[in-house]
Structure 1
């Protein structure tokens, strides 16, 4: 093996970074030299640059849209530029292996990896592969899946089901610190609202319009997205954050139920932490429908309730949250039967084997 050199990639949304955040510390602890290739202004830049010992390399990337846009004509050139930039970085760093979490930035990295003869491992969190991973899979040696059903969408010779990779630090939250952060107490259920890393205007609006009624039964932590805090709603029992990172584990420690989008990484983390969920997946008008499939899978297993975005109003949200509150104990019982596999260890082992085979 080369001198323990590895490059990680993935970005665009927090979901395309979380698995990387879960396993990077393990490689750091073992003395690997770690570089990360991401976009110039994606959320991954902020998340990764905060990790000591990881060098971040921004490259150009296109969005690979499924719909018509004038930007579509520019994107192929951005991807070509990104591939050239990634090729130079890989040539300079000479990694033994590359691990990709997906997102548009990963496509030029995986193409460059093939050109340089570096083995690459892809992780697919969602029930069905996203467009970026579909484009990148031909250039990878292994493709790892979170849902066992995903294997039918992947090339058999490359695919392996490993389960959900959950960040261990989420299990280390301290309730007292969560109460200190929020000013809450144990008198009411704590409801955590998450609208994805960019936030959701529709969810934010429905929550705020229903605050007076919701605060009768809940204390609310509202992670509303960048620039979406509205100070006029500030009041006891309601706390707003644009985005949380270090504080999340302590906020989850006091959380009784969650209302969230249905990105696979997030919902598996809630499942591992035994947090009953009301999932509001992105509609097919705003996505490829992967969150809808993720949510339906969790609903069938009894881990979550689902409210379609087309049905989302202040009244329907309040009704759904009240129903979830009443049924939370039954849901937690079903969650107790879930046993998280040793997914993180499996991923690390597969990455190391690919590095050794290089």
Structure 2
């Protein structure tokens, strides 16, 4: 059986697909795997390192706001669709699986013309425009949150949680302590602005660096090219990006301050972390963050609230193990586990229909 995974532009739309691929391999499924992403997306290097056959289509953004790019976007979409047709004709996949990326739209539409089975996975609380455009032609729709069952056709929608990679669960705090020379006598705060980093979060960290490092280690992921060596403290560890070491650092962290992308929230849930979420303004992340907060699984602050009140909240949590335990337990219950296994089963069942 040939499986074509499609997603890219960010690691967020690719992460659950990585997990599905690895779960199928773990189950010894003798399937051929292909990936369609963007030409220079952050996902390309990682996918090729897994040994998957990688194809690309022109990057298309489906804008819901005015921009002069709207005038040329249709031409890029047509080019992406035509290239998608060629890819589907060449690969002849049995099942196409997407997870909310704009890349998945032309690929899924092309696959439908050739009668291929299509699965889309809705990660975020708010349905993505790309998934809305593919949902009518999809054979199966899976969702991360039970709440999202109401957003799609009940006949073909299933709640599975969000697939998470096994390696996330295999982190070891002692490895992180040794590698980054962490003071074992202090709790550890991890601050991350996502895979690309966040200027607003970085600025906040540097403004309140002394207070944040008072009685705690601080590991700060700035994003590639966004570090600033002018800021230093004996307990401060400034890093641009982590890949293989990220599970170890997550295992070490007592509190995490993070953006609210669904992939990282999925990892927080699987690991039962104590989290403060700072969503990217005016995006689906706000829905994710405040849903978590309403479920008492995290604290959430808008970016314009990123000031000393967040620092105070961190120190309150550091001095309240019971509160951290309540939050981490709720975070663990937030998302159904075993999503990768269920997705592999769904792929297999579609082929038999």
Shorter-normalised TM range: over 0.9
Alignment of 1:8-157 (within 5 A): 8-28=5-25, 29-52=28-51, 54-157=52-155
2:276 counterpart SS class: strand
Query: Who is 2:315 aligned against?
Result: 322
Deviation at 1:253, TM superposition (A): 1.7
Query: Who is 1:356 aligned against?
Result: 352
Alignment of 1:1-358 (within 5 A): 4-28=1-25, 29-52=28-51, 54-284=52-282, 287=283, 290-313=284-307, 315-333=308-326, 335-336=328-329, 338-339=332-333, 340-357=336-353
| 1:280-334 C-alpha deviation (Å, 9 max, x unpaired) | 11222xx2xx222222221122211111112122x23312322332345334245
Distance 1:133 1:328 in 2: 40
Distance 1:335 1:214 in 2: 21
Distance 1:332 1:79 in 2: 48
User: Runs of 5+ in structure 2 lacking a partner?
Assistant: none
Give TM-score scaled by structure 1 length: 0.92
Deviation at 1:124, TM superposition (A): 0.7
Distance 1:245 1:125 in 2: 22
Give TM-score scaled by structure 2 length: 0.93
The question of whether the paired residues in 2 share the 8 Å contact of 1:305 and 1:324 is answered with no
| 1:170-198 C-alpha deviation (Å, 9 max, x unpaired) | 11112221112211032211111121222
Aligned residues: 348
Deviation at 1:157, TM superposition (A): 2.2
Query: Structure 1 residues 59, 225: closer, same or farther in 2, change over 3 A?
Result: same
Distance 2:74 2:317 in 1: 45
1:16 counterpart SS class: coil
The question of whether the paired residues in 1 share the 8 Å contact of 2:260 and 2:285 is answered with yes
Distance 2:142 2:22 in 1: 20
Distance 2:287 2:321 in 1: 22
Deviation at 1:241, TM superposition (A): 2.7
User: Runs of 5+ in structure 1 lacking a partner?
Assistant: none
Query: Structure 1 residues 250, 261: closer, same or farther in 2, change over 3 A?
Result: same
- Which sits farther off after the overlay, 328-337 or 205-214? 328-337
What RMSD in Å do the two structures reach over aligned CA positions?
A: 1.7
The question of whether the paired residues in 1 share the 8 Å contact of 2:222 and 2:239 is answered with yes
The question of whether the paired residues in 2 share the 8 Å contact of 1:5 and 1:34 is answered with yes
Distance 2:179 2:63 in 1: 40
